[in-house]
């Protein structure tokens, strides 16, 4: 089991990142994902910078939609931790029960048709190649 590094026991390097996570999210809560990555500060820093830029940075895609996309990937991969944490995050950003259910329906359907396309060995239409 991975050791989880609490804020109180963290080095200055880790604490600076924890502080940025707290500030960015306007919440004191540091979830286990970051506490685990803190075992290797370069991974903690790099992963947080990427996540902050991609999920909380400027961009055209709405923050809630970003979470929906994140969940779609996590459900497809079957990542239990990521499904639990990002479903919670999406609800905090306003995901209703209906939106969650519609998201699941799309993810399920895409996983279905992906395999039909594989199995029937369907050639890509010329008009989709441009």
Q: Among residues 14, 21, 37, 90, which is the contact residue for its own copies, using CB under 8 A?
A: 37
Looking at residues 46 to 105 of the shown chain, list those that interact with its own copies (rule: CB under 8 A). Answer: 46-47, 50-51, 53-55, 59-61, 65-66, 68-85, 87-88, 96-99, 101-105
Tell me the C-alpha to C-alpha distance, in Å, between residue 107 and each of 39, 82, 115.
33, 15, 13
Nearer residue to its own copies within complex by CB, 16 or 76: 76
Q: Is 26 in the site for its own copies (CB under 8 A)?
A: no
Q: Which residues contact 71 (CB under 8 A, 6 or more apart)?
A: 83, 86, 87, 90, 103, 107
- For residues 64 and 68, give the distance between their C-alpha atoms in angstroms, rounded to a whole number: 6
Q: How many helices (H) and strands (E) does the chain have?
A: 6, 0
- Kindly state the smallest distance separating residue 2's Cβ from its own copies, in Å: 5
Candidate list 1, 8, 12, 26; residue touching its own copies; CB under 8 A: 1
């Amino acid at each position: 089991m991975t050791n989880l590094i609490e804020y109180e026991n963290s080095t200055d390097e880790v604490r600076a990142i924890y502080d940025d996570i707290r500030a960015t999210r306007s919440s004191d809560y540091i979830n286990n994902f970051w506490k685990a990555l803190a075992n290797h500060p370069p991974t903690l820093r790099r992963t947080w910078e990427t996540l902050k830029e991609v999920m909380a940075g400027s961009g055209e895609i709405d923050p809630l939609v970003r979470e929906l996309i994140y969940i779609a990937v996590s459900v497809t991969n079957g990542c239990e931790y990521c499904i639990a944490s990002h479903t919670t995050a999406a609800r905090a950003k306003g995901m209703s029960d209906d939106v969650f259910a519609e998201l699941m329906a799309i993810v399920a359907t895409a996983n279905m048709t992906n395999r039909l396309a594989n199995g029937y060995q369907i050639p890509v239409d010329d008009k989709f190649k441009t």
